[in-house]
Amino acid sequence: MRAMLPLLDDLAFPPITRGALEALQINLTYLCNQRCLHCHVNAGPTRTEAMTDDSLQLLHQVIDAHPVHTLDLTGGAPEMHPRFREIVTHARREGLRVIDRCNLTILSEPGYEDLAQFLAELQVEVTASLPCYSRDNVDKQRGDGVFDASIIGLQKLNALGYGQPGSGLILNLVYNPQGASLPPPQVALEADYKSHLAEDFGIVFNHLLTITNQPIARFGSTLVSKGQFNDYMQLLRDSYRAENLPNVMCRSLVSVDWQGYLYDCDFNQMLDLPLEIGGQVIARQRPHLRDLLNTSLSGNAIVTRDHCFACTAGQGSSCAGALNS
């Protein structure tokens, strides 16, 4: 959903600029073994978009040449990209922290049975979506049987050391609200998750990350169809907190799409709002991975629109969870 409906007042999102570039978030593919209601990428089993070998070669060059310290791999299901393991291996060899945005069910899919072992051997940080500790709520949002498959995936990761004290293998879970509301306080919800998952399934993990649903793509279309879009946007604007601005993820992260084009965040990528350098798109074309080889983004203005209020509402929201929890 690229068009944004009119809002109910004239509050504009404040201008913000970039700090030092610390992380590359790579959308490797829109292909996914799931089709979740809240997915802002519209990923699914029938999507065919995937990063090409040429763009991957550029990505390796950027990793080698640029002082970024984190490679954040997302999708779709990033593990379904045929070069996923090569990308991870190269980044880890260069000393980068690698995050795999894992939907958990991929760990049990045919052909991926050894994926968890690979992630553990390369010490990849797993950030896994689990929107509730209740079977009914998870299956409602992500599809029948997803909860049980997710639990199996978590148990497989735990058996390899993920989430276990002193293992060094980080396992974080991600919570998205079921509908048009803000996430509850992250610290309290994390305690609930840990209590329920440990008691019911013997599962442990490091942290829970709460993420506000963005009013775009599949979730945005659902809001429109239910007549809730304007009310949700008003909630985001009414809940704006200026103290969240310094910590929004777009100040230190660049989002890269499957074609190698650059965006200030994954949400701008889905809205087709390319990153601008020096107030304009380079040579009247979209900035690409190749531009990171010789361009500093520090101080660059960030492209903002009304959906940015989702990142600054309440406790704030980023790919690393709440900004003030």
pLDDT at 8: 38
Q: Is residue 1 over pLDDT 50?
A: no
Would you place residue 46 in the very low, low, confident or very high pLDDT band (cuts 50, 70, 90)? confident
Q: What is the model's pLDDT at position 295?
A: 81
CA distances from residue 38 to 27, 35, 79, 178, 247 in whole angstroms, order as listed: 17, 9, 20, 8, 24
The answer to whether 274 and 264 are in contact (CB under 8 A) is no
Pairwise CA distance, residues 146 & 135, whole Å: 8
Q: What is the pLDDT of residue 43?
A: 76
Q: Mean pLDDT, to the nearest integer, of 70-93?
A: 95
By C-alpha distance, which of 27, 55, 54, 52 is closest to 41?
A: 27
Distance CA 315, CA 206 (A): 20
Q: Is the pLDDT of residue 284 over 70?
A: no
What is the structure's pLDDT at 204? 98
Mean pLDDT score of the chain = 89
Nearest to 68 by CA among 289, 322, 308, 247: 289
- List domains and CATH numbers for the chain: 23-312 (3.20.20.70)
- Is the whole-model pTM more than 0.95? no
Q: Which of 83-92, 139-148, 196-205, 222-231 is predicted with the least confidence, judged by mean pLDDT?
A: 139-148
pLDDT of residue 160: 98
Work out the average pLDDT over 144-156.
91
User: Sorting pLDDT into bands at 50, 70 and 90, what band is 7?
Assistant: very low
Highest mean predicted confidence (pLDDT) among 3-12, 208-217, 290-299: 208-217
In the sheet with 262-263, reading across from the earlier edge strand, the strands are: 207-210, 171-175, 125-129, 97-102, 70-75, 23-29, 253-256, 262-263
